[in-house]
Amino acid sequence: MERTLTEVMTRREDVASTSGAQTTVRCEALIIETSDAPEFIDITDEVQRVVAESGVSFGQATVFSTHTTAAIKVNENEPLLLQDMARLLHQLAPLNAEYGHNDFSRRTVNLDEEECKNGHAHCQHLFLSTSETIPVLDGRLGMGQWQRVFLVELDRARQRRILINIVGVAG
């Protein structure tokens, strides 16, 4: 169940090597209207486009959710699988369980007028990530065949803002 590399067949392969006189940083936001929760929205093509237009050839792209109840996850875009994962999130932190965060009679912090009971969404976020950092190779995301980038809405239909922040060397 656990091995060290000395016993494992491993091979190294050159992928890229570049030095540039200038560092380029490019940040763009994606504004997305979600419609349900949990909802997996495949944003790979948009991220790819932002990377391609950034002019960065080699470096890395961080896809960052600016929200505490919406996450970024890389996995496969297969509809039945997305339902499996939604079900698992629900099992671990059900919508109707008891959350102190939902008890507005006790809460004194960060309460605004339209406050919704979303303790489950914050708790589901515990298992997911706020961001993913992806290599940029030759102006493209260096992802595998089945990998897709998802915005995961955990709360409800909302407007979400995702940052795509690219750091690297241009052309």
By CB under 8 A, the residues from 26 to 45 that bind its own copies are: 26-36, 38-43, 45
Instruction: Give the count of beta carbons closer than 10 Å to the beta carbon of residue 150.
Output: 23
Among 90, 95, 117, 131, binds its own copies (CB under 8 A): 131
Among 94, 95, 117, 135, binds its own copies (CB under 8 A): 135
Q: Whose CA is closest to 51, among 144, 145, 149?
A: 149
Residues in 47-76 that interact with its own copies by CB under 8 A: 50, 58-60, 62, 64-68, 73-76
Among 90, 142, 156, 158, binds its own copies (CB under 8 A): 142
The backbone torsions φ and ψ at residue 23, rounded to the nearest 5 degrees and listed phi first, read -95, 135
Least distance in Å: CB of 113 to its own copies?
14
Cα–Cα dist 168/96, whole Å: 45
Residue placing its CB nearer to its own copies in the complex, 24 or 156: 24
Residue placing its CB nearer to its own copies in the complex, 147 or 156: 147
Cα–Cα dist 44/148, whole Å: 6
Residue placing its CB nearer to its own copies in the complex, 95 or 128: 128
Using CB atoms within 10 Å of the CB of residue 91, give its burial: 0 to 12 exposed, 13 to 18 middle, 19+ buried: exposed
Residue 65, CA atoms < 13 Å, CB-side half-sphere: 24
Least distance in Å: CB of 114 to its own copies?
13
Under the binding rule (CB under 8 A), the answer on residue 96 touching its own copies is: no
**Cα separation values, 34 from 63, 119, 154, Å:** 17, 18, 10
What is the radius of gyration, based on Cα positions, of the chain? Answer: 19
Among 51, 89, 139, 155, binds its own copies (CB under 8 A): 89
Among 90, 95, 117, 147, binds its own copies (CB under 8 A): 147
Say whether the peptide bond before residue 135 is cis (omega within 30 degrees of 0): no
Least distance in Å: CB of 121 to its own copies?
10
